[in-house]
Amino acid sequence: MGNRIVVPFGSQHVALPEPVSFLFETQNEVITDVQVNIGYVHRGIEKAAMTKFEFTQLPYLVARVCGLCSITHAGAYTHGIEKLLGIETNKKIDYLRMLVVELDRIHSHMLANGHVAEVVGYENLFMQTFRYREDVMDILERITGNRVQYDYQVIGGVARDFDKEIEEFARKKLLKLKANTEKLMEFFENDYTFGLKTKGVGTISKEMAAKFNTAGPIARASGLETDARAEYDYLPFEEVGYKLQTRTEGDVWARNMVRFDEIMNSIEMCLNILDGIPEGEHRVKVKGRPDGEVFIRVEAPRGECFYYLKGNKTKVLDRVRIRVPTYANIPVLKELFVGEKYSDAQAIVLSFDPCMSCTAR
Amino acid sequence: MMINPEVTFFEVTLDNVVDLIKNWYNEEKYNYVTVNATDSGNGVTIDWIFSKYYDKNKLVVFRAENVAYDAKIPSIVNVVPSAWIAEWELADLFGLDVENAAKGVFIEPDAPQAPLRKGDNNGK
């Protein structure tokens, strides 16, 4: 029986992309208890949304909840406000929104898988994954004008129109990305040493995923069939080939693989969207002030993102509540650590693709 | 005005909410989304929000209205183990007295306290 040792992990640590603190209690290198502190970067975005900004400005504010899934946040908010205002958008707007949402998912998943590769010791694989990811960043830049904070989804539509030249550019890049992703998948799926470091590590059973209300790829890697794209009508995903992806192993390896499955499905969806973008305006007229309440669920790359909006016929909303997927996944992460080796903690945390920027919005 | 026809509301009180959720909740069928508070300036409305797995557009909301700022909010952690994180956030951001909630997890002690409170003690 070894001594009980308490090991702090974060808030600043080489393996952590963002500040979160875990205090691990360990015995013989095995974690026996963990405390979590997630309040290092609280930015008061909900408070600002209810006091400092008019509802028309909020797509730009909520997009800054997260650098990676800013499209999703702006999309959830604009969808909610459009419901409150009774605005009907057209099919072209739906298709352009789906296109950027799926492109966003692709680059976010590639970033997550690249980070896992890095912490299990594959620095070249990390760099290669990020190099391939540049193609999707280029497409997003062409469509939206920005590489990171897109501000593309606005109330009543999208900020920029789409043309044939962008369509051809995006198609070419997506086909290249598809071929490159297949190469990456082959390695992540079959490499023996990579498997030793990720298979059977940090395993969440389907029952545990349900018990702790796990969200997104973490839940789907454990066989839990949940995805806001399938459970809530906000964009016509099924029309462009959306298929719910699951794996059953529930470990670090499966979380990577389910992300690759989703990347491949998103590439197919994007190609189908490019084949069928309808004619029409990219923005419709917006008038009125929001009144009433609305509950919105959208599927961000990391899982279900929930918005509650309450208006009172003024320019400033009564309540803006944002529940992000990392926030929903912290309870299962905390439980999961107990019984795992401390040396696997980095891979487990990164396989969750945590976003503290979202969590402490 | 209610815009979402897919939402089913149950009016609850702080005394019966835990029992009602306990008798209704099935973790294989329903996903706990979060608990949310909305401050009216005279008290808070608390929503315990659930979605249905594998089903289109189904949300269930247990709603307690006009909850006093100093009321003891019961925890549903014994029914929904993942609920602690949203409950602790309510305690930090609204300054509410939530059963077994640790304080200072979401905001540091030297930050403005109860920042989302509109009524008394705003920014205490």
Domains and CATH numbers, chain A: 4-359 (1.10.645.10)
| pLDDT per position as a tens digit, A129-183 | 999 999 999 999 999 998 888 889 999 999 999 999 999 999 999 999 999 999 9
Mean pLDDT of A119-135: 94
| pLDDT per position as a tens digit, A217-266 | 999 999 999 999 999 889 999 999 999 999 999 999 999 999 999 999 99
Is A278 an interface residue toward B (CB < 8 Å)? no
DSSP string, A63-118: GGG-SSSHHHHHHHHHHHHHHHHTPPP-HHHHHHHHHHHHHHHHHHHHHHHHHHHH
The answer to whether the CB of A224 falls within 8 A of the CB of A261 is no
Is B111 an interface residue toward A (CB < 8 Å)? yes
% of residues, chain A, pLDDT over 70: 99
Provide the residue type at A336 as one letter.
L
CA B46 – CA A94 distance, rounded (Å): 33
| pLDDT per position as a tens digit, A302-312 | 999 999 999 99
DSSP string, A283-298: B----S--EEEEEEEE
Q: In Å, how far is B15's CA from the nearest CA of chain A?
A: 24
CA B47 – CA A121 distance, rounded (Å): 44
Residue A53 predicted with pLDDT over 60: yes
| Radius of gyration for chain B, computed over Cα atoms and rounded to the nearest angstrom | 15
CA A36 – CA A21 distance, rounded (Å): 6
Task: Confirm whether pTM is higher than 0.90.
Answer: yes
All structural domains of chain B with their residue ranges = 7-98
> What's the distance, Cα to Cα, between the start and end of chain B in Å?
32
Residue B123 predicted with pLDDT over 50: no
Residue ranges of the alpha helices (H) in A120-233?
123-144, 164-190, 192-198, 206-211, 216-220, 228-231
Mean pLDDT of B15-42: 94
| pLDDT per position as a tens digit, A293-338 | 999 999 999 999 999 999 999 999 999 999 999 888 989 988 899 9
* φ/ψ (deg, to 5) at B31: -110, 125
In CATH, B7-98 is 3.30.460.80: yes
Residue A345 predicted with pLDDT over 70: yes
Partner-chain contact B38 A319, CB within 8 Å: yes
ipTM value for the complex: 0.93
Name the pLDDT band for B119 (thresholds 50, 70, 90): low
A 149-208: CB under 8 A from B = none
